[in-house]
Structure 1
Amino acid sequence: MSIAKIEARTFTRRALLSALPVLAAIAAAATIHQSQAQPETAAPAPTEVTVAPVIHRPLHEWQEFTGRLQAVNTVEVRPRVAGYVDRVAFPDGARVKKGQLLFVIDPRPFQAETDRLKGELARAESDLDLARANQARAERLIVANAISREEYDRLGAGVSSARGQLDATTAALESARLNREFTEVRAPLDGRVSRALITAGNLVTSQSLLTTLVSDDAVHAYFDADERTYLRYAQLARSGEGDAARGVFMGLVDETGYPHEGRLDFVDNQVDPTTGTIRARAVFANPDGRYTPGLFARIRLVGGENRDTVLIEDRAVGTDLGRKFVLVLGPDNRLASRFIELGPQIDGLRVVREGLGADDVVVVNGLQHVKPGDVVAPTRVAMNEQAAGLRQVASVSPSTRIAASSVEGATLRSQR
């Protein structure tokens, strides 16, 4: 390499090294200028949420169920004898009394059989009289040795045979009379009859379904309770929190609240392992026939003592991996998460069994926009109290021990 090239490279390197301080000064000045040109970023404003104090007051806690109404007695009306239907004696859907005529089956064949057996009975009575007379004569003749012992025994056996024939004919005649009565199909109980499934002129047998009849003076309401609910009521019963009353309340789909009062009269003897529920039944008087079997029913059962209870709106409740929680407003408007255990719903509000105190304030609107630890701008409102409904629940007359007594009494009746 030539000396000229070496000197050229050395000069270039020295020039670059001497320019570095100048470049650094220019970059620093640009950075300072940029930082001075950009305004400082403002802190985010607190999120606006709506909060409400929890409701805290003494209440009866109720457990609510859904169920279906069923008739206390349901009868499939079938004929006891075979024959042709002569007449249908009721209008479809009518209310009938016990013993009221429903169907008439042609009685003539049964009347003819009854008349024939009456003749058979008269002949059997005559045969018995003759056999007794022959036996009386034989007793006189045997004393005089006028007949043999064999003949005497034969005449005595004739009396027994005639008596047996008379008894058999009497029984056959009674059966024929019953069959004649069975040609008139009558209502076995008071209630409401369905439509006639077989009309006049049709041949029926003992397997033919003529109509159905349901009692309507009372109805059963069947519903299913989960294991936890059943165990809770059973514990109340075992602890002696019970009295003679066994009350339960019902509302229909077109009604507000639970205006009808009945009593729990049956709890099944085992939990269904496929559903984890146990079947229970309440009975309600139905003097005006308003309750129709098959109707959907809402059932309410008192579930504990009249005690101080915390209530909140359902919209204040969140779910985290299956657990229920609320966001509680703390000092400096900072939110904290609180896991809770929920109870039944009472007039639009949810019972909180555990997790909240009487003085807590929870987020009721904007829950999806905040998280635990956030500082918020709260707007306070009143919880949707529905005070009239709550006062009605709080002043319900039956004892709070009704449900426990109901479970205990119904279980005992089921075991018997």
Structure 2
Amino acid sequence: MVFKRKLVISSAISLAVIAGVGAMYHTYGGTPVTEAAAAAAPPAADVDVATVVSRSITDYQEYSGRIEAINDVQIRPLVSGTIVAVHFQDGAMVRKGDPLFTIDPRPYQAEVDRAAAQLASAESRSGYAASDWERAQRLLSDNAIAKRDYDEAQNANREAIAAVKAAKAAVEAAQINLGYTAIAAPVSGRVSRALLTVGNVVSTGANAPVLTTLVSMSPIYASFDVDERTYLRFLSHDSKVTVPTWIGLANETGYSRQGVIDSVDNRLDTGSGTIRVRARFDNADGVLVPGLYVRARVGGGAPHPAVLVSDAAIQTDQEKKFVLLVDKEDKVQYREVKLGDQQRGLRVITGGLQPGERIVVNGMQRVRPGDPVKPNLVQMSGDAAAATGAS
């Protein structure tokens, strides 16, 4: 009887367990799970993912620079005197040879007249000395003159010739100084304001004042410092003019002007690890002025395919760079990547990613490798080509 009672109780417990499992099986759609397993499964986190950008690119580097004039001239007086005229408007465009200032020319015209008179006197004395020497030569051949008198006539003629040369030089110097009273533009370009106006007395020498400044406008330079790698890759050979160069202004998102490398400095700055580069650009519209900030882009080589991602999606693990990849099963994977240069707001990935793969771009702090996610597909941040519709 005891054995039969135990058997009945055991059978009842077994039936109860089977009934409970059946209920769980029915509740979860035919898949048997335990409460512990259900509690251990992490919920899928909502994250923003973007497909890596794939496009054909040309390698280039971006730098900051300033516009510089090819000719930057300080206009100073070369003769002393009083300014009697200013011939330009402040900020006007002038051509080479256009008058800028006039210094009172009367004292210098008088000096030219005086030097010309002295020249006429010297030429007269030279003519008389030449005739006297010719006469002495004839007399010497007939032994009708002393050798001493002949030598004196010859010496007087030579002195007269030298006096004529000195008088001519004095006339030339006086004419040069007279020409300096009319100050003209040495180059074509844009003139600044007149720092000294009519009535001011100016002097020459070390204390000569600056009357105004003049800068050439077209062509014009853009100067910037490039890193050592860019120099070795693009600029260390002789054909620097073939390296494409672009600049963009502060109010532009792109690069509106193309130019050529004009010169590269003769040494690398060891403090900054950069070398000074100067590029030449046309400036027919006069928009570029010296001192203007520009973004410069230097590049070269043939276009080649590349994958690009936003810098915000790249994480650092000690010395490694990685991204969080979302696979076909919407699970997170750790993917180490190798970085290249920046291209139009995105970072070139030289290794670790393939075209079409998805990476987490927002919500990375909420997930770890192996976690399931609910991906929300967005555009890659910083993709200037997609934003503008460019390829």
Give, in angstroms, the shift of residue 275 of structure 1. Answer: 0.4
Find the aligned partners of 1:303 and 1:140 in 2 and give their Cα distance.
Answer: 83
CA 1:302–1:380 in 2, change beyond 3 Å: closer, same or farther?
same
Alpha-carbon offset, residue 157 of structure 1: 0.8
The match for 1:109 is 107
Query: Which residue of structure 1 lines up, in the alignment, with residue 306 of structure 2?
Result: 309
> Shift of the alpha carbon at 1:323?
4.8
Gaps of 5+ in 2: 1-34
- 1:196 corresponds to which residue? 194
Distance change in 2, residues 1:387/1:213 (3 Å): closer
Q: Give the match for residue 273 of structure 1.
A: 270
Please state whether the residue corresponding to 1:281 is helix, strand or coil: strand
How has the CA–CA distance of structure 1 residues 172 and 243 changed in structure 2, closer, same or farther, with 3 Å as cutoff? closer
Q: Which residue of 320, 336, 353 corresponds with 1:356?
A: 353
Q: Aligned runs of 1:375-390 on 2, under 5 Å?
A: 375-384=372-381, 385-387=383-385
Q: Give the aligned partner of residue 9 of structure 2.
A: none
* Partners of 2:222 and 2:58 in 1: CA distance: 22
Relative to structure 2, which stretch is displaced further, 202-211 or 366-375? 366-375
Find the counterpart in structure 2 of residue 182 from structure 1: 180
Q: Secondary structure at the match of 2:380?
A: coil
User: What code does the residue aligned with 1:141 have?
Assistant: L
> For residues 226-281 of structure 1, what are the alpha-carbon distances to aligned partners after superposition, in whole Å with 9 as ceiling and x for unaligned?
1222233358x69xxx8984432221111231121211222223211010011112
- Other-structure match for 2:295: 298
Q: For the Cα contact (< 8 Å) 2:47–2:362, is it kept in 1?
A: yes
Say whether the 8 Å CA contact 1:328–1:338 is kept in structure 2.
no
**Partners of 1:65 and 1:224 within 8 A in 2:** yes
User: What count of residue pairs does the alignment treat as equivalent?
Assistant: 350
Structure-1 residue corresponding to 2:60: 62
Residues in 2 aligned to 1:303 and 1:370: alpha-carbon distance in whole angstroms: 40
Counterpart of 2:24 in structure 1 is none
Cα distance in 1 for residues equivalent to 2:100 and 2:136: 57
- Tell me if 1:222 matches 2:223: yes
Q: Please give the residue correspondences for 1:5-404 in structure 2 after superposition, counting only pairs within 5 Å.
A: 42-43=39-40, 44-206=42-204, 207-233=208-234, 245-321=242-318, 323-330=320-327, 332=329, 333-346=331-344, 348-384=345-381, 385-387=383-385, 392=390
Please, what TM-score do these two structures have when normalized by structure 1? 0.77
User: Following the alignment from structure 1 to structure 2, what is the Cα–Cα distance between the partners of residues 155 and 98?
Assistant: 52
User: Does the Cα contact within 8 Å between 1:217 and 1:287 map onto a contact in 2?
Assistant: yes
Task: Name the SS for the 1:42 alignment partner.
Answer: helix
Distance (Å, rounded) in 1 between the aligned partners of 2:249 and 2:350: 28
Shift of 1:378: 2.9
For structure 1, the residue ranges without an aligned partner over 5 or more in a row are 1-38, 395-416
> What is the aligned-residue RMSD (CA, Å)?
2.5
Q: What letter corresponds to residue 341 of structure 1 in structure 2?
A: L
Task: Give the counterpart letter for 2:150 in structure 1.
Answer: Y
Query: Which residue identity does 1:166 align to in structure 2?
Result: V
AA partner of residue 56 (structure 1) = S
Q: Is the 8 A contact 1:89 1:103 kept in 2?
A: yes
- The percent identity for this pair of structures is 43
- Give the conservation status (yes or no) of the 8 Å contact 1:328–1:360: yes
C-alpha distance in structure 2 between counterparts of 1:254 and 1:101, whole Å: 36
CA distance in 1, matches of 2:114, 2:121: 11
Quote the Cα distance in structure 2 between the aligned partners of 1:72 and 1:109. 36
Whole-Å separation in 1 of the counterparts to 2:286 and 2:54: 41
Change (3 A) 1:154 1:247: same
Alpha carbons 2:191, 2:212 under 8 Å: kept: yes
State the Cα distance separating 1:331 from its structure 2 match. Answer: 6.5
The answer to whether the 8 Å contact 1:47/1:370 transfers is: yes
- Structure 2 CA distance for aligned equivalents of residues 387 and 111 of structure 1: 68
Residue 232 of structure 2 aligns to which amino acid in structure 1?
A: L
Deviation at 1:391, TM superposition (A): 6.7
Q: More deviation in 187-196 or 258-267? A: 258-267
Whole-angstrom distance in 2 between the partners of 1:386 and 1:108: 66
| Alpha-carbon separation, structure 2, partners of 1:256 and 1:304 | 23
Question: Counterpart of 1:131 in 2: which secondary structure?
Answer: helix
- Counterpart of 1:22 in structure 2 is none
Counterpart contact for 1:61–1:344, Cα < 8 Å: no
The CA deviation at 1:59 is 2.4
| Equivalent-residue separation in structure 1 for 2:385 and 2:81 (angstroms) | 66
Task: Give the superposition deviation at 1:303.
Answer: 4.1
Q: What's the secondary structure of 2:59's corresponding residue? A: strand
* Deviates most, 371-380 or 181-190: 371-380
Aligned-residue offset at 1:363: 0.5
* Contact 1:335 1:376 (C-alpha < 8 Å) held by counterparts: no
Could you tell me which amino acid in structure 2 is paired with residue 218 of structure 1?
A: P
